[in-house]
Amino acid sequence: MTLLNYWHYIVLALIFLMSLGGILSVLLKQENKKIAYSMVFSIVLVGMFLAVFSIIVVDKYTKKVELSKLHNKRLLGTEEISYSGIVSNIGKFPIGKVTFEIKLVNKGHVSGNVKAGSFYKPSGFFDFFSGGFGISSKPQTITKKFTVAKNLKPGTAKAFRVYFPYPPYFRNTAEFAKVYGH
């Protein structure tokens, strides 16, 4: 669940008042009822769009989270990789949910060094027709998202550790990590 702060309520109240004013002016000034109903529907639709968009924008500028002390460790016995770190709420408002996103990219994509042997390309008769009948290929980019904290108060931090399967065919992996609050 998203935590709303007073900025959310102020923006939503302004949007509601503008929509209400538009609806009242249409109902008082428009004599044709068919046109009036379509105009009211349009005003409500635009108001709902603005409300959703404003929640996203206010979240972006009021919910600030920072990632620190990120470490990874590859567990060869279970073919997994673990990431651990600390997320901190550096803003002035509580954050309902903190999401950690990690993106792993196999060699060749990041450095611009794309050679013929850098990528695995499945080939064969079944891949030519209908995508190989459900036989999976080996992706070169993996993105995982994890919820690492809930209800993080301003000025507090929380340690986390996540695990996920590591592809054994990855070599010289580049990693891109980010966190964001909802």
Residue 179 near residue 65, CB atoms below 8 Å:
yes
Distance CA 82, CA 165 (A): 9
Q: Amino acid letter at 105?
A: V
Q: Tens digits of per-residue pLDDT, 78-115?
A: 888 999 999 999 888 888 888 999 998 987 544 555 44
Q: What count of other Cβ atoms lies within 10 Å of the Cβ of residue 124?
A: 9
Distance CA 175, CA 146 (A): 15
For the sheet with 65-75, list strands across it: 65-75, 80-89, 157-165
Q: How many residues does the chain have?
A: 182
pLDDT tens track for 139-165: 888 899 999 988 888 889 999 999 999
DSSP SS3 for 44: helix
Question: Which segment of 28-32, 128-132, 168-172 scores lowest on mean pLDDT?
Answer: 128-132
Pick from 78, 25, 90, 19: nearest CA to 48: 19
Contacts by residues 44-50 (CB-CB < 8 Å, ≥ 24 positions apart): 44/19, 46/19, 47/15, 47/16, 47/18, 47/19, 50/15
Residue 110: what residue type?
A: V
For 46-82, what is each residue's pLDDT tens digit?
A: 999 999 999 889 888 888 888 899 998 988 888 889 9
For residues 148 and 89, the answer to whether their CB atoms sit within 8 Å is no
